[in-house]
């Protein structure tokens, strides 16, 4: 008799919707072409992402909100479903931003199919309960992202970014896999709950467990762009097509932090004395390095790449807290971060299409008078990234710092405040450049009007709605994050 895994298909419904859409799009690629293919592909992609989010919400309380499926390789809980909603939201915004991209007129179905497959991998990663399922999901979305980074075959920068991401991403994955092997040798299991039980009982080999923990942290640090594992981030963000960059900066970072939290608090709580100081150090390095180096940048995509490294420090602060408040703060922060990141990259994508080249501070100078709505979206997104009051970014940072103080990591909150003050130097530089007409300064002339402008504007408008909603009326979202993160705390 062959023993088959016990699958609950409803638990996998959000992923099956995306997977089915990807298969359908491959058929569309054969039957349709040109702008018709683009319109159909984007319509199917939007429908799949919305359907995935809807099914994740529908199964929110299935299994009491904590459901082990697929031979207990997956833990479908509220936290995982919350991440599925965030990934779906990032997918919707990315499709709107990508609609006017030149490559979408010839290869739209393939691009949207890759985007859906990447989202499947991210969804499965968010609910992984074993290093086996974690690694399979990680490679699924990583390989699709390598292809998406190289999707603009006419650009050597796109191909170069894909190669760099492939090489360094493979190193990170190998280190993570090697660490998982050490933990298996120490505990005799790949499952997170069984690893936690073995380490908690003192039945594991301490030396193997410590080595495995260190390597797992190093592998995941590559994925979250934490210093000193950040080297790939600026070049990959700069070279990749901007819609892909926005999706990577938002969704990839979100699921990487989700799996980091799950591994540390559900598999390695007994090792907290080792990983908390290590992560606190990475948080400080990321906060200072990312924000200081961003000050020297003039290329906007590279500036936002270093900003992403800095935000990894804020998010690590929530993880280090190791409390229910820290976990809920992380989820809330990721929701806000997704909106403000893609909102800023939407404006960059539109400007790139207008000038036919990279966006710098000089090419943005005075653009706010030419495109006031998109410039407004970018300005608000940057203010939220900087943590200005009345935006979701302000409240997200505040909750993270509160979690750090409550967990006796006040120094991380202090470093975060200092890093935020430093970040104003480059966020406000972009904002001032948008509306700068001193000495008769004029923006770089537009080669053409940005194609797909209404779609980009729609993505920006949705981002603004989320930023302001989470900043002005956050109660429901915070309650939702607290409900989803309740199982994630040391000592449970």
pLDDT per position as a tens digit, 334-372: 999 999 999 999 999 999 888 888 889 988 888 888 888
Chain mean position to CA 326? 18
| Res 60: pLDDT | 86
- Rounded-to-integer distance, Cα 315 and Cα 419, Å: 13
Residues 6+ apart with CB under 8 A from 446: 354, 355, 370
Counting as low any pLDDT under 50, the low residues of the chain are: 492
**What DSSP letter does each residue of 211-277 carry, written as one string?**
HHHHHHHHHHHHHHT-TTS-TTHHHHHHHS-HHHHHHIIIIIHHHHHHHHHHIIIII-GGGHHHHHH
Evaluate whether 255 touches 338 at the Cβ level (below 8 Å): no
Residue with tokens 């981002």: 463
Query: Can you give the pLDDT at residue 492?
Result: 44
Nearest to 296, CA basis, from 382, 422, 416, 381: 422
Within 59-130, where are the H helices? Answer: 78-98, 104-126
Contacts of 452 (CB under 8 A, 6+ apart): 99, 100, 101, 104, 353
Q: Cα–Cα–Cα angle for 141, 142, 145, nearest 5°?
A: 85
Phi, psi for residue 271 in degrees, rounded to 5 = -95, 15
Whole-number Å distance between alpha carbons of 119 and 123: 6
Tally the residues of the chain. 492
Q: Give the Cα separation of 154 and 144 in Å (integer).
A: 19
CA distances from 180 to 129, 131, 477 (A): 13, 6, 34
Tell me if the pTM is above 0.85: yes
Residue 412 to residues 312, 394, 440: CA-CA distances in angstroms? 13, 17, 44
- 149: which 2 tokens? 């980074």
Amino acid 379: pLDDT? 93
Three-state secondary-structure class, residue 118: helix
54 Cβ partners below 8 Å, 6+ apart? Answer: none
Q: Which residues pair with 67 in a beta bridge?
A: 76
pLDDT for res 69: 83
Which tens digit of pLDDT belongs to each residue from 186-204?
888 899 988 888 887 776 6
- Beta-carbon contacts of residue 368 (< 8 Å; ≥ 6 apart): 375, 376, 379, 434, 435
- Helix, strand or coil, per DSSP, at residue 434: helix
Helix, strand, or coil (residue 191): strand
What is the helix (H) or strand (E) element at residue 316, kind and residue range?
helix 300-321
Residues 6+ apart with CB under 8 A from 434: 364, 365, 366, 367, 368, 375, 378, 379
Element (H, E) at 68: strand 66-69
What confidence score (pLDDT) does residue 491 get?
54
- CA 419, chain centre distance (Å): 21
Helix (H, G, I), strand (E, B) or coil at 164: helix
pLDDT of res. 470: 92
């Amino acid at each position: 008799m062959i023993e088959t895994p016990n699958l609950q298909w409803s638990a996998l419904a959000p992923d099956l919707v995306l997977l089915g859409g990807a298969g359908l799009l491959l058929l569309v690629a054969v039957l349709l072409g040109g702008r018709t293919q683009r319109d159909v592909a984007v319509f199917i992609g939007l429908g799949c992402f919305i359907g995935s989010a809807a099914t994740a919400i529908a199964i929110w309380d299935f299994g009491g909100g904590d459901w082990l499926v697929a031979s207990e390789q997956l833990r479908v809980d509220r936290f995982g479903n919350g991440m599925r909603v965030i990934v779906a939201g990032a997918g919707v915004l990315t499709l709107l931003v990508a609609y006017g991209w030149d490559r979408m007129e010839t290869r739209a179905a393939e691009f949207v199919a890759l985007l859906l497959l990447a989202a499947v991998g991210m969804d499965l990663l968010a609910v992984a309960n074993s290093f086996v399922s974690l690694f399979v999901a990680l490679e699924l979305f990583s390989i699709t992202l390598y292809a998406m980074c190289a999707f603009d075959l006419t650009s050597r920068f796109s191909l170069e970014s894909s190669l760099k991401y492939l090489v360094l991403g493979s190193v990170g994955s190998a280190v993570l896999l090697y660490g998982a092997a050490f933990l298996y040798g120490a505990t005799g299991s790949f499952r997170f709950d069984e690893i936690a039980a073995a380490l908690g009982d003192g039945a594991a080999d301490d030396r193997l467990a410590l080595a495995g923990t260190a390597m797992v942290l190093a592998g995941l640090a590559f994925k979250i762009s934490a210093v000193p594992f950040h080297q790939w981030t600026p070049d990959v963000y700069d070279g990749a097509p901007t819609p892909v960059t926005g999706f990577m900066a938002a969704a990839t970072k979100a699921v990487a932090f989700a799996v980091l939290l799950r591994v540390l608090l559900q598999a390695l709580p007994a090792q907290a004395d080792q990983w908390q100081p290590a992560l606190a150090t990475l948080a400080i390095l990321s906060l200072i390095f990312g924000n200081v180096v961003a000050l020297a940048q003039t290329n906007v995509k590279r500036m936002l790449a270093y900003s992403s490294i800095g935000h990894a420090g804020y998010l690590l602060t929530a993880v280090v807290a190791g409390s229910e408040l820290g976990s809920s703060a992380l989820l809330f922060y990721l929701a806000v971060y997704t909106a403000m990141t893609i909102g800023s990259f939407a404006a960059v994508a539109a400007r790139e299409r207008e000038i036919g080249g990279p966006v710098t501070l000089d090419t943005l100078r005075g653009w706010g008078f030419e495109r006031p709505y998109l410039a407004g979206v970018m300005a608000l997104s940057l203010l939220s990234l900087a943590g200005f009051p009345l935006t979701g970014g302000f409240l997200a940072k505040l909750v993270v710092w509160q979690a750090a103080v409550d967990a006796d990591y006040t120094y991380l909150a202090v470093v975060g405040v200092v890093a935020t003050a430093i970040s104003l130097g480059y966020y406000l530089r972009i904002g001032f450049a948008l509306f700068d007409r001193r000495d008769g300064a004029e923006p770089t002339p537009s080669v053409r009007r940005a194609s797909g402008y209404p779609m980009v504007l729609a993505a920006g408008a949705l981002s603004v709605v989320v930023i302001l909603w989470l900043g002005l009326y956050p109660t429901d979202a915070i309650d939702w994050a607290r409900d989803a993160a309740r199982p994630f705390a040391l000592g449970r």
